[in-house]
């Protein structure tokens, strides 16, 4: 009977997990997503060896773990030269056209060539709630290519204090039940 009680208590403890509301992430002009990978709007590089910067803005309502990546299928003279993917705090917007977002750099990575194109990824420490922007910049290749940033955003959640207290109370009750039970000779 004792082992059955302990097994039932263990099963209840394993299946009882705290309920967490899905974290809503609002990203510039594409609505809301719930803790999943999302593609931000794609942009075309200008082509013809012209320097460019494309910005993708997003807001985090709570602390989040964020991974951003960009890839393209450019080969040969179409590849971006000196390309960089960067993640930045968004503190303001330039007051004159093209009204680019301004802020401090958090992390950056160069675009690396591979057999079928180019790619870069940034994976900073968890970010606090706030506004951010990703930037892809460089010198475009011989013709325009379509680029987009894909971001994986995952909520950083920790159990609430009440959850820990309830779990510890349950363990204490199980220990007390086992300690007070008379021992059979």
DSSP string, 19-48: --PPPEEEETTTEEEESSEEEPPPEE---S
**Count of structural domains within the chain:** 1
At residue 2 the predicted structure's pLDDT band, cuts being 50, 70 and 90, is low
Has residue 99 got a pLDDT over 70? yes
Distance, CA of 93 to CA of 27 (rounded, Å): 16
Residue 141 belongs to a domain = yes
Residue 14 belongs to a domain = no
Residue 91 belongs to a domain = yes
Token couple for 163: 């959850």
Measured between alpha carbons, how far is residue 24 from residues 61, 63, 78, 121 in Å? 7, 11, 37, 23
Domain carrying residue 85: 21-177
Residue 68 belongs to a domain = yes
Give the CATH number for residue 170: 2.60.120.680
- pTM as predicted: 0.64
Distance, CA of 176 to CA of 126 (rounded, Å): 40
Over residues 65-90, the pLDDT tens digits come to 888 888 888 888 999 999 999 999 99
Q: Report which listed range, 3-12, 19-28, 54-63, 134-143, is most confident.
A: 134-143
Residue 183 belongs to a domain = no
Over residues 122-168, the pLDDT tens digits come to 988 888 888 898 889 999 988 888 887 777 766 655 556 677 778 78
Residue 64 belongs to a domain = yes
Residue 9 belongs to a domain = no
Length of the chain: 185
Has residue 117 got a pLDDT over 80? yes
Residue 33 belongs to a domain = yes
């Amino acid at each position: 009977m004792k082992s059955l009680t302990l097994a039932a208590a263990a099963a209840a403890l394993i299946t009882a997990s705290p309920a967490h509301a899905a974290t809503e992430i609002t990203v510039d002009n594409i609505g809301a997503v719930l803790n999943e990978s999302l593609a931000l709007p794609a942009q075309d590089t200008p082509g013809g060896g012209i320097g460019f910067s494309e910005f993708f803005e997003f807001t985090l309502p709570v602390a989040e773990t964020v991974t951003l990546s960009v890839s393209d299928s450019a080969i040969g003279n179409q590849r971006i030269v000196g390309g960089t993917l960067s993640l930045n705090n968004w503190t303001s917007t330039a007051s004159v056209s093209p009204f680019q977002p301004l802020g401090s750099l958090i992390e950056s990575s160069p675009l690396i060539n591979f057999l079928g194109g180019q790619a870069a990824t940034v994976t900073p420490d968890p970010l606090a709630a706030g506004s951010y922007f990703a930037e892809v910049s460089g010198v475009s290749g011989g013709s325009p290519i379509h680029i987009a940033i894909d971001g994986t955003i995952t909520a950083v959640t920790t159990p609430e204090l009440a959850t820990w207290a309830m779990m510890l109370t349950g363990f204490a009750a199980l220990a007390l039940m086992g300690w007070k039970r008379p021992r059979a000779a």
